[in-house]
Amino acid sequence: MTKVAFIGAGNMNSAVILGLINAGFTPSDIMVTNPSPAKREALANAHGIRQSADNLEAAKFADVIVLGVKPHLITQVSQEIAQSVDVSKKCFISVAAGTTMAQIKQALNNLGSVIRVMPNTPSQLGLGVSGVYACENTSDEQKQIATKIMEAVGIVKWLDKEADIDNIIAVSGSGPAYFFLFMEAMETKAKALGFTDQEARALVQQTALGAAQMVVENDISIAQLRENVTSKGGTTQAALDTFRAGGLPELVDNAMDNAIARAKEMAKG
Ligand SMILES: NC(=O)c1ccc[n+]([C@@H]2O[C@H](COP(=O)([O-])OP(=O)(O)OC[C@H]3O[C@@H](n4cnc5c(N)ncnc54)[C@H](OP(=O)(O)O)[C@@H]3O)[C@@H](O)[C@H]2O)c1
């Protein structure tokens, strides 16, 4: 059985651990570390997994090590582990944006294998999207394990080149916030139209949920779904014409290009 260590008991690792437990992973095969005790003890108590303050203990225990610390700590933590633990057969999974494969491999003295994963926040609900890219010496077995781990919190898209990590950041990584901004603008207008705060939120969230579910359940293009609900000369067309006149499609294109550019800048440090 594969043993998995989660370095850091923060939001992302907690979501993945919950997903693995729900997927039937053996709790005693999982260990979580964190410098402060509260979060790792809470996870251990909730799921029956092992916990420690010591990253080296966890790295020795595991075959797969999920690095769930903030990006600026990824190489530091990797270096500390590689200095004291034989990592040559270990598989490291980094969920950090902005820390490249080359930086992590260097921190590990070019030993072991590294998989970069770009998850998104709906992973906390099991509705995530993870872009996954592996270095060339990753075995098929390690790739399968990484798939199984990330499928516990959503869907997995394997990527052929590392640059696609930046592209998937612009689509699914940052994507939830684009929808939040749109929903926020609709909520503000609904309130201005006289709906209470509670009503405005309920109207907007149910509309977004319904629209997303229609996309999920209908095997037709999103463009076709839009056309189906847009009567010629009707109210929806009046609103959509206004979005187009304001340049919404071009704005989305530019916004996503800027997310990619920022991901590249962050990788330079
Ligand atoms: N949250 C998301 O939706 C999301 C999406 C995509 C990617 N990511 C990536 O996932 C990573 C974690 O993000 P997060 O949101 O889960 O952050 P977070 O909630 O702040 O979790 C980070 C955890 O790491 C712990 N930590 C700090 N130093 C450590 C060390 N030396 N060894 C072990 N643990 C240490 C922190 O402990 P203390 O709190 O006690 O300091 C904290 O619990 C980041 O690289 C982020 O870019 C997150």
Can you give the pTM of this predicted structure? 0.90
Whether the predicted pLDDT of 52 surpasses 90: yes
Q: Could you tell me what percent of the chain has a pLDDT over 70? A: 100
> Which two structure tokens, joined as six digits, stand for 112?
């072991």
pLDDT band for 124, please (50, 70, 90 cuts). Answer: confident
CA distance 61 to 44: 16
Give residue-wise pLDDT tens across range 200-219.
999 999 999 999 999 999 99
Nearest CA to ligand 1 atom 36: 8
pLDDT of 172 reads 97
Instruction: For residue 123, give every residue at least 6 positions away whose Cβ sits within 8 Å of its Cβ, in sequence order, or none.
Output: 12, 15, 16, 19, 130, 153, 154
Q: What is the pLDDT of residues 172-201, one digit of tens each?
A: 999 999 999 999 999 999 999 999 999 999
Q: What is the pLDDT of residues 147-180, one digit of tens each?
A: 999 999 999 999 999 999 999 999 999 999 999 9
State the chain's mean pLDDT as an integer: 95
**pLDDT range class, residue 116, cuts 50, 70, 90:** very high
Query: Could you tell me the distance, in angstroms and rounded to a whole number, from the CA of residue 10 to the centre of ligand 1?
Result: 5
Copy the structure tokens of residue 135: 């270095």
pLDDT reading at 1 higher than 80: no
For residue range 227-262, what is the model confidence (pLDDT) as tens digits?
999 999 999 999 999 999 999 999 999 999 999 999
Please determine, for residue 269, whether its predicted confidence score (pLDDT) is greater than 80: no
How would residue 267 be classed by pLDDT, with cut points 50, 70 and 90?
Answer: confident
pLDDT in tens, 55-105: 999 999 999 999 999 988 999 999 999 999 999 999 999 999 889 999 999
Q: Can you tell me whether residue 256 is helix, strand or coil?
A: helix
| 55/71 Cα distance (integer angstroms) | 16
Any alpha helices (H) in 48-115, and if so which ranges?
55-61, 71-84, 101-107
| Ligand 1 environment, Cβ below 6 A | 7-13, 33-36, 39, 55, 68-71, 73, 77, 95-97, 119-121
pLDDT at 266: 85
The predicted pLDDT at position 97 comes to: 84
Residue whose CB lies within 8 A of the most ligand 1 atoms, among 57, 69, 118, for a mutation test: 69
Q: Kind and range of the H or E element at 40? A: helix 37-47
Residue nearest to atom 43 of ligand 1 (CA): 10
Give pLDDT, residue 240.
98
Tokens of 194: 């006289």
pLDDT in tens, 27-45: 999 999 999 999 999 999 9
Collapsed DSSP state (helix, strand, coil) of residue 134: strand
